[in-house]
Amino acid sequence: MTPMDLRGVFAPIPTPFDRNDQLDESRLRSACARWAASSLRGLVVLGSTGEAVLLDEDESDRVVAVAREIWPAGRPFIVGTGRESTAATILATRRAGALGADAVLVRTPGFYKSQMNTDVFVRHYTSVADASPVPVLLDNFTAVTGVNLPPAAVTKLAAHPNIVGVKESSGDVAQIADFVKGSRAGFNVLAGSSTTFYSALGVGAVGGVLALSCVLPDACVRVFELTRAGNHAQASALQMRLMPIAKLVGSMHGIAGLKASLKLVGCDVGGPRSPLAPVSDATVAVLREALVSFEEVALV
Amino acid sequence: MTPMDLRGVFAPIPTPFDRNDQLDESRLRSACARWAASSLRGLVVLGSTGEAVLLDEDESDRVVAVAREIWPAGRPFIVGTGRESTAATILATRRAGALGADAVLVRTPGFYKSQMNTDVFVRHYTSVADASPVPVLLDNFTAVTGVNLPPAAVTKLAAHPNIVGVKESSGDVAQIADFVKGSRAGFNVLAGSSTTFYSALGVGAVGGVLALSCVLPDACVRVFELTRAGNHAQASALQMRLMPIAKLVGSMHGIAGLKASLKLVGCDVGGPRSPLAPVSDATVAVLREALVSFEEVALV
Amino acid sequence: MTPMDLRGVFAPIPTPFDRNDQLDESRLRSACARWAASSLRGLVVLGSTGEAVLLDEDESDRVVAVAREIWPAGRPFIVGTGRESTAATILATRRAGALGADAVLVRTPGFYKSQMNTDVFVRHYTSVADASPVPVLLDNFTAVTGVNLPPAAVTKLAAHPNIVGVKESSGDVAQIADFVKGSRAGFNVLAGSSTTFYSALGVGAVGGVLALSCVLPDACVRVFELTRAGNHAQASALQMRLMPIAKLVGSMHGIAGLKASLKLVGCDVGGPRSPLAPVSDATVAVLREALVSFEEVALV
Amino acid sequence: MTPMDLRGVFAPIPTPFDRNDQLDESRLRSACARWAASSLRGLVVLGSTGEAVLLDEDESDRVVAVAREIWPAGRPFIVGTGRESTAATILATRRAGALGADAVLVRTPGFYKSQMNTDVFVRHYTSVADASPVPVLLDNFTAVTGVNLPPAAVTKLAAHPNIVGVKESSGDVAQIADFVKGSRAGFNVLAGSSTTFYSALGVGAVGGVLALSCVLPDACVRVFELTRAGNHAQASALQMRLMPIAKLVGSMHGIAGLKASLKLVGCDVGGPRSPLAPVSDATVAVLREALVSFEEVALV
């Protein structure tokens, strides 16, 4: 297989629900069209930000099908297919491939934390990559899984011809550097934390899968472009201006915060699915304030 | 509804697989018959120890149906039905009820760790308990979920007429005491950690859901009976003798260790499902040694 | 050397300060006389609860000398002498011995957390015990040190003729049981957490070093005596009644909470030393309420 | 007071001991002369890397006096003076000032972890800064203290006229950015982790206090100079080449690893003080290999 180039900014999109907590395909179409009109390089559906663990398999397939229909060919369309069991991950991966995914993003299993180690990860991902019809991206999201994918595992897995990259979702820039250093040229190390995107690019990340980019796609892309152009002072300054929103939308208020922010910028994707709860009015006010402070956003 | 009495020892049974990693109904029948012949009070199927997160919904239903068929009426038959979404938990709970569960054990959601708090847990469990055709048990298993169900949440939920108890799976005896102190008489606080079972009984737990009791059911029941009879010296001494095996079977080697131990005592339920890996031969030797040291087990 | 018997309840006393944050010898005398009039087995001065890390070496010696003078011979008088360096620990230990300590309690070093392991602990404590003129007690207080003294280290050190016991300050009853199981008969395993004192006694602890016993010495001793007499139902019930105060005085409000509680029961030892801050009036009210609820305390 | 400019690289020097674990003033002189001959901006003595917690007050003063004598005026000479008590910190700070310190670096107290919060930190540092004859730097070293200095505390303290900066010792680049964003221009945010030095500079850190710079001062300064000159590609490439040694010398092998590395490059400062243990021969071989791979070092 030929290597895949994933340079740029990818939006890990939330899954829209209607008032009855049901998948809202219409809102999904509108939102995808909006993101398609931005400078985003690509889309990630059914990631952790997509509430994938709150969807059943049929809903998952519908999300993929609807988004794929809207999203333009030629810009990477990536589907999250991680499950706790290797077999279920393979099934989801094959279905994603059949539905038009350009690549899959596979979160580490993490339920049985004490039993997860380099060997287990290497076996799991090798099985998935062997069986996958499309290239595979590793996904290390310690804040939700409670486990860490060790650099040694990434180094081994980067040698697999069907594993084309890794997303590191913590803000641990040293680990991103470790992943870069331990993998072959052309292996795509992607930042998963909006607060340290500029820093990640500085140590070899080729792009990012950034929740913030669902709300402010062009600003995130500008950080990327400025850095690529060697304009570090402006890139860093823009990153610093984005910091407060990145924190609010990301770790602090989670998916509910992201969905509330999207509504503020005119993209209503509903609220999160239960047991997740919408943010309070006070939090909406804080988000509004942060977005207004950022200046370039006209709020609805 | 009338209160449910869950005094005694419950085995959270592993799910047997065959050589092809498929559900092995025949082994499940044999194993259930073996447990039915013991002094165990009841059974928990599809708990964390049952690799529930590695099964699909159809497999889950088959496990329930097969085990239910073997397990004698009159001894509590409990089914794990926790899912990350409230709606999926309710669906699984209703199916378990329809398949003959006497109660359901519902693990806290935990994927979106930073968003879980007392309010979220209270809303989630209230929805589930309102919808459930059978009594509900809360399940706090921090080692796998990465979140803690606060005593304040348990106190509120213990007032719900369809919530009959809580399993605390850590060895945190102070928190078990908190749960007991904060709930009404008749609310069943169950220990989930084999290493501190005797201690939990001493602060008001009425029983235990103990992985160790899959392997050594009668010894675990004896700890319970000795304590209930006020024979603390013997109960404590037996608990101390069980400690090394409890540690090996539980946290140290996880489900693979439990399955290997079961094979050693003549109950072959196969290995764990991938990505979980079987224990090494060296570990089997350690498990054998521990079981032999315990003296009363004739190994195969 | 002959073995030392440390059965019973020990108060880890706070160090009294005056309004100028200076050591208040007069209050120390009064408080020690009060504790001497109780049924406490012994005293621990300069432990973590004694703000030892906030005192200089001269102040430390004065605390030992003054308390020793008041405390009756024949009831164990134990001095905390742990320092980060082995040499400084030995110096403090020798001074304590010279000032009349019956034994020393030596907290694990913990500053360089990543470098602490079983070998380091064994070497450290062996050097200290070799040099100490009096018996040595190990002190594992993970909540302040950030490191854990592994059971394997305790097992090795329990074989040293001048190491007579260990205090486990967390509420981890399973680890207490491990320490008991791994050490020779006569080795004194002491509970350091008031919330699980009864449970610790049930798995082989011979006594406790309990912050709560500074405030309610006789109630703590009663838990001990009831358990020793095999009266488990009453012991457990009393422990449950003590739980709320134990939590407030211990982990929740720290030394400031302990000192405020002591003032409420008529034993004014001043406030904590800076940077520690006194508790708020609201917290004092909560402490008062908890003490009054316990019923047998006449508050000042 | 006038603001202090701390741009550049500072070496947090280890304290040399002789074979009897005693302070070795001769080695200290030689080592300081070596560092003075490098392009280091300044020196930090008695930091965590200086084993300050393993020294008594007299030894501490001797280290300051000897190093001060060698270190050239005009290049910042900073002394670590953090103690657990506010009063002891002030005493140490005054002594350091009297002995010629240009500034003091004050580690957060951290022993009573559960009681440390923004208010406590603000009061502690305000007292110290009010009393200090020289400018004060905050020091947040979570890996040893187990507590975090919150950005809110730094923002408040940055307004104090005698507090001139903060060292953030973790590799948390997002927190460094927070510190920068929350403080006035001219407030010196210094990186304390060698593995993310380049990244920290990119988000506004003005320099670093880097253990690695004791061993490879000129390479660390080059990362700084290249970044300052806008030569990001070379700066990042050099940082990546330094990564393996940075990890070995820093977190992985601690002070023992640092001292072994220094011996390899011809600067023998002895081993660490007990209970810290020297690294094994195998680790020395790994360190040698890493240094040789870096190419520009001629090993002894």
* Measured distance CA(D6)–CA(D103) in Å, rounded: 10
What is the mean predicted confidence (pLDDT) over B130-154?
97
Position B57 scores a pLDDT of: 94
The Cβ of residue D275 has, within 10 Å, a number of other Cβ atoms equal to 25
Which token pair is B61? 């239903």
* Chain A residue numbers touching D172 (CB-CB < 8 A): 171
Q: What percentage of chain A has pLDDT greater than the value 90?
A: 95
- Provide the residue-wise pLDDT of chain D in tens; the chain has 300 residues: 557 999 999 999 999 999 999 999 999 999 999 999 999 999 999 999 999 999 999 999 999 999 999 999 999 999 999 999 999 999 999 999 999 999 999 999 999 999 999 999 999 999 999 999 999 999 999 999 999 999 999 999 999 999 999 999 998 999 999 999 999 999 999 999 999 999 999 999 999 999 999 999 999 999 999 999 999 999 999 999 999 999 998 778 899 999 999 999 999 999 999 999 999 999 999 999 999 999 755 565
β-bridge pairing D163-168 and B8-12: unpaired
Smallest CA–CA distance, residue D53 to chain C, in Å, is 6
B113 tagged catalytic: no
**D247 three-class SS:** helix
Cβ distance A1 to A162 under 8 Å?
yes
Say yes or no to pLDDT of B297 above 90: no
CB contact under 8 A, D109 and C143: no
Residues A269 and A259: beta-carbon distance below 8 Å: yes
Tokens 């290995």 locate to B271
Name chain B's partners: 3 or more CB pairs within 8 A: A, C
Higher pLDDT, C101 or B3: C101
Residue of A nearest to D172 (CA): A172
pLDDT at residue B250 greater than cutoff 80: no
Is there a contact between A112 and B144 if contact means CB atoms under 8 Å apart?
yes
Non-local CB neighbours of A2 within 8 Å, separated by 6+ positions:
none
- Note whether D67 contacts C: Cβ–Cβ < 8 A: no
Please tell me the total number of residues recorded for chain C in this structure: 300
Can you state the angle between helices C25-36 and C57-70, rounded to 10 degrees?
40
Q: Please check whether residue A255 touches B, CB under 8 A.
A: yes
The residue from B156, B167, B259, B263 that is catalytic is: B167
Rounded to the nearest angstrom, the gap between the alpha carbon of residue D41 and the centroid of all alpha carbons in its chain is: 12
Looking up tokens 């039905």, which residue turns up?
Answer: B81
In chain A, residues with a C-beta closer than 8 Å to the C-beta of B274 are 85-87, 123-124, 127
Which residue bears the tokens 């979220």? Answer: B120
Q: State the pLDDT confidence band at B299, using cuts at 50, 70 and 90.
A: low
| DSSP-assigned letters across all residues of A114-127 | GG--HHHHHHHHHH
- If one compares B252 and B132, the residue with the highest pLDDT of the two is B132
The answer to whether C and A touch (≥3 CB pairs < 8 Å) is no
What mean pLDDT is predicted for residues B277-294?
Answer: 95
Compute the residue count for chain A: 300
Q: How far apart are CA B87 and CA B81, in angstroms?
A: 11
pLDDT for position C298 = 55
Residue D296: per-residue pLDDT: 57
For residue B225, give how far its alpha carbon lies from the nearest alpha carbon of chain A (Å). Answer: 32
Q: Which residue of B141, B274, B279, B280 to mutate against A (max A Cβ within 10 Å)?
A: B274
Within 8 A of A232 by CB-CB distance, chain D residues are 202, 230, 232
Pick from D215, D229, D219: which is nearest to D269 by CA?
Answer: D215
State the burial class of residue D125 (Cβ atoms within 10 Å of its Cβ: 0-12, 13-18, 19+). Answer: buried
Other beta carbons within 10 Å of B195: 28
**Under 8 Å between Cβ of C106 and C139:** yes
Q: What is the ipTM of this complex?
A: 0.96
Q: What share of chain A is helix, strand, coil (3-state, %, to 5)?
A: 50, 15, 35
- A169 at interface of D, judged by CB pairs closer than 8 A: no
Task: For residue B111, give both structure tokens.
Answer: 């994927």
Residues in chain B: 300
Q: Which residue stretches of chain A have pLDDT < 70?
A: 1-2, 296-300
Q: Can chain C be said to touch chain D, i.e. do they have 3 or more Cβ pairs within 8 angstroms?
A: yes
Give every residue of chain C whose pLDDT is below 50, as ranges.
none
Is the model's pLDDT at B218 over the cut of 90? yes
Burial of D219 (0-12, 13-18, 19+ CB in 10 A): buried
Q: Do B119 and A277 touch (CB under 8 A)?
A: yes
Q: Distance (Å) from the C-alpha of residue B251 to the closest C-alpha of chain C?
A: 12
A-chain residues within 8 Å CB-CB of B86?
Answer: 273-275
Q: Classify residue C224 by burial, with Cβ atoms within 10 Å: 0-12, 13-18, 19+.
A: buried
CA distance C294 to chain B (A): 14
2-41 in A: which are within 8 Å (CB) of B?
A: 21
Among candidate residues A113, A156, A167, A263, the one labeled active-site is A167
D146 CA: distance to closest CA in chain C (Å) = 7
Instruction: Please report the pLDDT score of residue D250 as a whole number.
Output: 77
What does the pLDDT read at residue C81?
A: 98
Chain B residue nearest residue C204, CA to CA? B236
Q: Identify the sign of the CA torsion B165, B168, B174, B175.
A: negative
- Interface size, chain A vs chain B, as Cβ–Cβ contacts under 8 Å: 97
Q: Does B230 touch chain C (CB under 8 A)?
A: yes
Running DSSP on this structure, what letter comes out for residue D21? S
- CA A295 – CA B15 distance, rounded (Å): 56
**Is D124 at the interface with chain C, CB within 8 A?**
yes
CA–CA separation, C44 vs C270, rounded Å? 19
Put simply, whether A181 touches D (Cβ < 8 Å) is yes
CB–CB contact A273 B111 (8 Å) = no
Give me the numbers of helices (H) and strands (E) for chain D, helices first please: 13, 8
Neighbours of D237 (CB within 10 A): 15
